[in-house]
A = this chain, B = another copy of it.
Amino acid sequence: MKRKNIRDVAREANVSISTVSHALNETRYVKEETKQKIKKIAKKLNYRPSAIAKGLRKKSINTVAIFVANIESQFFSKVTMGINKIANANNYHTIMVNTFYDEDEEEKIIESLRNQFIDGAIFVSGLNNVDCIKKLDEEKFPFVLVTRKINDRYPSILIDNMKAMEETIDYLANFGHRKIGYLTMDYQNRQTVTERFLGYKKGLKKNKLGYDSSIVLIGENKMIDEMKKGYILVRETFRNKEAPTAMIAATDNLAAGAYTAFKELDLKIPQDISIVGFDNLPMSRFLDPPLTTIKQPKEKLGSCAMEMLIKLIRSEEIRQNIQILDTAITERGSVTYPSK
């Protein structure tokens, strides 16, 4: 049983193709009687207009791509949810591309998607693959960056990582902490992580605290499992060395790993060591003790991005290219006054 097309409907209804199209899409007046007849027949034949043919004519199949580095991270999945909600509401489909932090892969896929197939793209965090983005811009291909800024012109939805980190140092300093360690990864190609690190340094300076490289733990890029990385780094580093009184982790996942390590080292959280995370992942509330962490509006990041992208696609004016959403420290149980 072959798939029916618009011609089949037209024939069966004894009208022209254009009438069928207009009747079904309500794009011009068709006599009520005829319209009903056409609709009935379309239903009877189980007619489904070909989105591809329509796309060819309309030069769009209402689809955008989402580039995420690693969908497994709950940060990315939350952002994706925000994107999808707005997309659905506006009849856009989303194609998910998981780059696994691989630049070549990313570039290859961008290339392949640019075959006039996709109306726009959202890059969530991800890499510093600037060239690729530049090319897109030159071709006036609509895109939005999330949590990633290249210049003041490219549309971006951001949070202020530096400021958030600075405030975290303020926060810890207010508790009386003077030795504040840092736990991060060496993703040279990931902006957020870099910015947070800069914020840490700036915060130290602002609070007149010296930078002490011996309590700054940086994991190499190889290992993808952040929790494990945090665990190993902390365990190895503070096995024979005194730990600071507070530790900031660049992500909640790193913090979770650190929790396990500190417990193994018989350091009580928060009595012996205060910990602050970043991201406010769902599990952070259920760590023991609940993790104090920096909350960012993950879903909002996604929805704002998609809203902006739609405007770009429709060539509507956008008020501001760069939108910065608020972060906030979520106080839970992993921070207290230093014991000494």
- Residue numbers of A with Cβ under 8 A of B are 3, 46, 48-53, 55-56, 59, 61, 63, 66, 71-72, 74, 77-78, 80-81, 84, 88, 93-98, 105, 109, 113-117, 139, 225, 227, 231, 256-257, 259-260, 263, 282-283, 285-288, 290
Q: Judge whether A95 and B98 touch: CB under 8 Å.
A: no
- A288-B259, A288-B288 as given contacts; A283 in contact with B227, CB under 8 Å: yes
20 extra interface residue pairs, beta carbon distance < 8 Å, beyond A66-B96, A71-B71: A50-B56, A50-B116, A51-B116, A52-B52, A53-B56, A63-B95, A72-B74, A72-B77, A74-B74, A77-B77, A81-B98, A88-B105, A96-B96, A227-B282, A227-B283, A231-B286, A256-B286, A257-B286, A260-B286, A286-B287
Whether B84 pairs with A80 at a CB distance below 8 angstroms is: no
Contact, CB under 8 Å: A71 / B63: no
Contact of A116 among B48, B63, B115 (CB under 8 A): B48
Cβ-neighbour of A81 out of B72, B78, B93, B285 (below 8 A): B72
Given A115-B48, A227-B282, A84 and B96 contact (CB-CB distance below 8 Å): yes
Q: A218 CB to closest chain B CB, in angstroms?
A: 20
Indicate which residue in B52, B80, B260 contacts A288 across the interface (CB closer than 8 Å). B260
Within the complex, what minimum Cβ distance (angstroms) separates A185 from chain B?
16
Report yes or no: B117 in contact with A61, Cβ–Cβ below 8 A.
Answer: yes
Chain B residue at minimum C-beta to C-beta distance from A58: B52
Q: Which 5 A-B pairs have the closest CB atoms?
A: A51-B117, A51-B115, A96-B96, A50-B116, A52-B55
User: How far, in whole Å, are A231 and B113 apart by their CA atoms in the complex?
Assistant: 44
Q: How far is the CA of A81 from the CA of B105 in the complex (A)?
A: 15
Assembled-state Cα–Cα distance A290/B287 (Å): 11
Q: How far is the CA of A104 from the CA of B51 in the complex (A)?
A: 21
CA separation between A260 and B53, bound complex, in Å? 55
